[in-house]
Amino acid sequence: MSTLLHTTPVNDGFFMPGEQEPQDEIWIAWPERTDNWRNGAKPAQQVFIDVAKAIAEVTPVTMTVSADQYDNARSRLPEHIRVVEMTTNDSWMRDIAPSYVVNKDGERRGVDWEFNAWGGLVDGLYFPWDKDDQVASKICNLRGDARYRAPIVLEGGSIHVDGEGTLYTTEECLLHPSRNPDLTREDIEQVLKEHLGIEKVIWIKNGLYNDETNGHVDNLIHVARPGEVVLSWCDDENDPQYQISRDAYEVLSNERDAKGRQIKVHKVHIPGPLYISAEEAAGIDSCDGMEREAGERLAGSYANFLITNNRVILPLLDPKRDDDAKAVLQHVFPEHEVVGVNAREILLGGGNIHCITQQVPSAH
Ligand code: KQY
């Protein structure tokens, strides 16, 4: 049973730790909707299994799955991965699971944001999204964690925190008219401060080119640790990503974080550019909200990795670029094992490994 709290995390002494901190568990949701995942979602399911197995070697994994797919998921996942029945509208745990906050006394609570499928009736990707919006509360309930219902629309993939007072986000997403049109930048900062215990917000202008989430920050950058960020880069002046990455670099290198540090930026070149093939597009059912036409540019990024305990789970997306990306990350995380998973099938659904996972930090 989970208690709904009517105070705020910051008033209660809670803050969100960075992803580089120790974790107790990772949550993932089994993919099945055929207007997002091609060929009956079978190829995506295999990749979700690969990701879950790579994580489960260092961190316990719970997979949620619909009643219809329960037997399939249970039989295809190894026993040590917990499978629980839960209805969702799709499979983006980063955006629908709670953002966990902890305090100095070893307690942990969930922050449950309002979810509107990346834009609601303005430019959301699907309707309805009510089951996704219930996921954070259901996870808190199953785990027995107390929960705060935050008063704004927000997805976990639209923020990165360093756990020492700094939050990174994009103007493109958090100030988009489809999220919280009645709130100013200052109002949003205030809610973030109250709910995540942060002191400073670093606003990057835009997210990755053609990202259907309205520019989630987790597809453009990744916070490696306080004061160090991995940034998606592009060397081709004719690629629309070129200027987006340079603008982000400009902001990151001129800002100081909450503790006054200069931010060290590690550049990782984007894969591709990558596009949906005719064969891939033909395997996806038509949908009103999501563009899945042959030739559509995919928002591919190596920054969309997951840090989980002593591992980094990296999406492999392009044989011409994968090795370089892996080398950059191994350099940024010398103490971690960087494990690559072929992740094009997740990318076809509009996100990547960071987007399909949500961590429960250890509390001590
Ligand atoms: O956290 C993310 N960047 C989620 C991607 C969602 C894509 C929906 N099709």
Buried b (16+ CB within 10 A) or exposed e, 135-158: bbbbbbeebebbbbebebbbbbbb
Q: What is the pLDDT of residues 103-120, one digit of tens each?
A: 999 999 999 999 999 999
CA gap 227, 265 in Å, rounded? 9
Which residue's alpha carbon is at the smallest distance from atom 7 of ligand 1? 350
CA gap 223, 229 in Å, rounded? 4
C-beta of residue 53 within 8 angstroms of C-beta of residue 47: no
355 is known as an active-site residue: yes
Q: What does the pLDDT read at residue 288?
A: 81
* Other CB atoms within 10 A of residue 262 CB: 12
For the CA of 290, the closest atom of ligand 1 is: 9
**What one-letter code names the amino acid at 49?**
I
Q: What does the pLDDT read at residue 88?
A: 98
Q: What does the pLDDT read at residue 105?
A: 96
Which residue's alpha carbon is at the smallest distance from atom 8 of ligand 1? 350
With 80 as the cut, is the pLDDT of residue 311 above it? Answer: yes
CA gap 174, 203 in Å, rounded? 9
Q: What is the pLDDT of residues 238-271, one digit of tens each?
A: 999 999 999 999 999 999 999 999 999 999 999 9
DSSP 329-347: HHHH-TTSEEEEEE-HHHH
Percent of the chain's residues with pLDDT above 90 = 97
160: β partners: 168
With 90 as the cut, is the pLDDT of residue 2 above it? Answer: no
Q: What is the pLDDT of residues 147-185, one digit of tens each?
A: 999 999 999 999 999 999 999 999 999 999 999 999 999
What separation in Å is there between the alpha carbon of 352 and the centre of ligand 1?
A: 7
C-beta of residue 193 within 8 angstroms of C-beta of residue 199: yes
Sign of CA dihedral 251, 193, 266, 91: negative
What separation in Å is there between the alpha carbon of 148 and the centre of ligand 1?
A: 23
Q: What is the average pLDDT score of the chain?
A: 97
pLDDT band at 234 (very low <50, low <70, confident <90, very high): very high
Going by DSSP bridges, is the β-strand pair 311-316/337-342 parallel, antiparallel, or unpaired?
A: parallel
